[in-house]
Amino acid sequence: MAAPGLDVLFCGINPGRWSGAVGHHFAHPGNRFWKVLHLAGFTDRQLDPEEDRLLLSYGVGITNLVERTTAAAADLAPEELRRGALSLERKLRRLRPRSVAFLGMSAFRVAFGRPQAGAGRQPELCGGADVWVLPNPSGLQAAYGLDQLVDHLRALRRFVHDARTCAIDVAGQRAPR
C-alpha cells in the first residue's frame, strides 16, 4: 500500500501467517507497529490493521521486502531478501518517497549486503530515498522494548518533519528534492 510522494514508506520483511490470512500489514495482535506508530506521532490515534489504507492520508505507506507469507522471517532465504531489495529499489524510484524505513535490522543487513548496519539513518540512499533501519516491531522481537521502539520512530518522524519543512521555499512552494 503505497502512493507517489509519501513522506515515509515503511518496509516490513514479509507477511507473517496472520497478516497473510487477513490481508493487512502488521495484523497479529502481538505486533506493536500500530501502537508505536501512534505513540511516535505519525497518527493522531492508534489505527487498527484493517485501517492500514488510512496511512496514506498521513503521508505514510507500507510495503514488504518479500511478499511471500511465512511463519517467521527466518524462513526466508538470503537470495529472496536480495531479490526483494532490487524490487524495492525499483518501487522507490517510481514512488519517490522522502524516506524508506526498514523494520527489521537483520533482514536489511542481508538484503542490502550491509552486515554492520545499525539502527537509525543510514549514509546511503535507496532508490532516491533516505534510508532508516529500525527494529522489528513484532512481539517476538524481545530485544527492544516499547519505549525504545517509540524513540526510534520519533527520531524518524522528526527527520521527516524537518525534511518536509526544509523542502518548502520562502514563497510556500514545495522545493525540488
Per residue in 81-106, pLDDT (tens digit) is: 999 999 999 999 999 999 999 999 99
Can you list the domains of the chain with their CATH numbers?
8-166 (3.40.470.10)
Per residue in 120-160, pLDDT (tens digit) is: 999 999 999 999 999 988 866 667 888 999 999 999 999 99
pTM above 0.75, yes or no: yes
Query: Taking phi first (over 0 means left), then psi (-120 to 50 degrees means alpha), and beta for anything else, what does residue 5 get?
Result: left
> Distance of alpha carbon 161 from its chain centroid, rounded?
16
Q: Which residues are catalytic?
A: 14, 25
Average pLDDT over residues 159-173: 68
